[in-house]
Amino acid sequence: MSQDVALQFIERVHAEECLWNRRVSGYKSPVVQYDVWCRLGEEFNATPEQVKNKWRSLQSSFRHHYNKYQQSLVTGSGADDVDAPCWFAYEAMSFTKCTTECGPTRDTLTSTPYSSHPGTSTQQPSTSGLLRNPSSSHPGTSTQQPSTSGLLRNPSSSHPGTSTQQPPLLTISETGISPTPRMPSPVQYLHSSPPPIASVERLPTPPPPTTPPQQRRRAIRRRWDEANLSYTEDVLRILRKVGEATDRLIEAQNRTSDGAEFGKWLGAIMDGWSPQRRERAKMSIRRKVVKIDEERFRERMDMELLSSDSDNS
């Protein structure tokens, strides 16, 4: 395809946007693209596969020159350093830049997970009501907390006969008011005896194995070999017998008799004779064989007659 025909071909492909523009509905339809390639093939006297391969070749050449030009556009490069494209179809193929460049992008990452919805509050629910003394919500109850100034003092000296255990806190739930046990006072830890340390129960030591693992493994291996040894010997014996029978059968099929050996020897000699001599020799051999058969027949018949005469007498 000449350069003029190639430029005309590029113009025709530029007119058919379904072949190169991804935003066209027919770009992803192979049926539509095949029909367009068929029309272009008829116009340029080629098959659809040939024009399609030609377009791919033009795209590859344009990407090569375009990438080379973009790589030369570095910061600080002068006009002499820029590699200007000199390809004849570069300007005609410039409409395919949208297929090689990345289009506009949009950052979908937001700063906070709640900022994308206006009017929503990012304030976390307050827990101040849960930590408040529940007794303040009921009128008539005292909100005064017990003083902790004498916690480190001996409670028996300040309040003789009174217990140092503080009353439990009350928590309000859906089912009602339930007491929550308060943490014990530090005074209790100072004047209380330490809890007895529980004795650590030791697990019983497992009994040692009767035989060491290595000896046990060897014994298992020896038993396995002994159990399979007889089976292996039987299989080998059967295979040996099958091989011997096969050899005998092959030998019987390939074995030649004495007559065959004699005929082969006689045939090798008669091959050097003339046809008339071979015919005379074959006729004489046939007469000899027939004569021998007749003599054997007479001998057999005479023996049968003699045996019958002896039986009658």
Task: State how far the Cα of 48 lies from the Cα of 54, in Å rounded to an integer.
Answer: 10
Q: Which residue has the higher pLDDT, 306 or 167?
A: 306
Q: Are 54 and 45 in contact (CB under 8 A)?
A: no
Q: Is residue 239 part of a domain?
A: no
pLDDT recorded at residue 152: 42
The predicted-structure confidence for 202-254, as pLDDT tens digits, reads as follows 777 777 666 666 677 777 777 777 777 777 788 888 999 999 999 988 888 88
pLDDT at 162 over 80: no
pLDDT higher than threshold 50 for residue 143: no
Confirm whether 30 is domain-assigned.
yes
For residue 228, being part of any structural domain is answered with no
What pLDDT, on the 0 to 100 scale, is given for residue 155? 43
Q: How confident is the model at residue 307 (pLDDT cuts 50, 70, 90)?
A: low
The 10s digit of each residue's pLDDT in 65-103 is: 888 888 887 755 555 667 778 888 888 888 888 776 655
Residue 70: inside a domain: yes
pLDDT for the residue 109: 66
Total of domains in the chain: 1
Rounding to the nearest 10 degrees, give the CA dihedral for residues 77, 79, 81, 83.
120
267 found inside a domain: no
Q: Which of 37, 57, 58, 32 is nearest to 48 (CA)?
A: 37
Q: Is residue 235 part of a domain?
A: no
pLDDT of residue 37: 92
Q: Cα(240)–Cα(234) distance, rounded to whole angstroms?
A: 10
Domain assignment present for residue 22? The answer is yes
Q: Is the pTM of this model over 0.95?
A: no
Q: How many C-beta atoms surround the C-beta of residue 54 within 10 A? A: 19
Flag whether pLDDT at 108 surpasses 70: no
pLDDT surpasses 60 at 150: no
The percent of residues above 90 in pLDDT, for the chain, comes to 10
Task: Give the residue with greater pLDDT, 121 vs 218.
Answer: 218
pLDDT of residue 105: 60
Q: Which of 130-134, 196-200, 257-261 has the lowest mean pLDDT?
A: 130-134
Contact in structure between 87 and 61 (CB atoms under 8 Å): yes
User: What is the maximum alpha-carbon separation in the chain?
Assistant: 162
Range of the domain at 90: 3-99
User: Closest Cα to residue 130, out of 172, 166, 180?
Assistant: 172
Per the structure block, which two tokens stand in for 233? 């010997």
What is the per-residue pLDDT across 33-72, written as a single tens digit (0 to 9) for each?
A: 899 999 999 999 999 999 999 999 998 998 988 888 888 8
Beta strands in the chain (DSSP E): 169-173, 176-180
Does residue 275 lie in a domain region? no
